[in-house]
């Protein structure tokens, strides 16, 4: 498995999020879990966004497969605040691993639709396979 061949260090962990970093690949791997209360969700999103800027991250593997859909208010907040922060980042690609549940898929799509009002420097794709997501992220 490709993910196991990469070297990651854990840089942030809560009950709701584990953020791993591969300096060699300029890649972060976010694993989101559960029904995240608004304050913790927003804090984690700001931490991840600032880490992306500080480390000049180019690639993101965002695993939403175990995350419950955020509220509409949180979706709007995430789209606005993260887009403002990340529009000047070095991001090239973001691969989203989506849950099989259509409601959770739609919540993530909604965040990206709202964020698209701010021009972003990266390409984003949705995946159901971790391996396919990583192949796409690491291909040039």
Q: Which two tokens stand for residue 83?
A: 């887009």
Q: How far apart are CA 138 and CA 58, in angstroms?
A: 10
CATH number of the domain bearing residue 52: 3.30.750.24
Q: Number of folded domains in the chain?
A: 1
pLDDT tens, residue by residue, 68-105:
888 889 988 988 899 889 998 999 999 999 877 776 77
pLDDT tens, residue by residue, 100-118:
777 677 777 777 677 677 7
Q: How far apart are CA 20 and CA 24, in angstroms?
A: 12
- If DSSP codes are grouped into helix, strand and coil, which group holds residue 53? helix
Q: How far apart are CA 38 and CA 5, in angstroms?
A: 34
Question: What value does the mean pLDDT take over residues 6-12?
Answer: 95
Which is more confidently placed, 75 or 61? 61
Decide if 134 contacts 3 (C-beta within 8 A).
Answer: yes
Q: Please give the residue range of the domain that contains residue 110.
A: 2-138
Q: How far apart are CA 10 and CA 21, in angstroms?
A: 6
């Amino acid at each position: 498995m490709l993910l196991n061949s990469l070297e990651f260090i854990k840089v942030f962990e809560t009950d709701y999020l584990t953020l791993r970093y591969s300096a060699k690949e300029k890649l972060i791997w976010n694993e989101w879990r559960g029904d995240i209360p608004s304050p913790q969700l927003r804090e984690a999103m700001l931490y991840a966004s600032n880490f992306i800027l500080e480390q000049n991250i180019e690639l993101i593997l965002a695993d939403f497969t175990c995350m419950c859909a955020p509220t509409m208010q949180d979706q709007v907040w995430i789209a606005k605040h993260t887009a403002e922060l990340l529009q000047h980042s070095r991001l090239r690609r973001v691969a989203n691993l989506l849950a099989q549940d259509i409601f959770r898929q739609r919540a993530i799509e909604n965040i990206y639709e709202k964020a698209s009002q701010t021009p972003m420097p990266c390409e984003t794709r949705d995946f159901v396979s971790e391996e396919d997501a990583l192949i796409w992220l690491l291909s040039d």
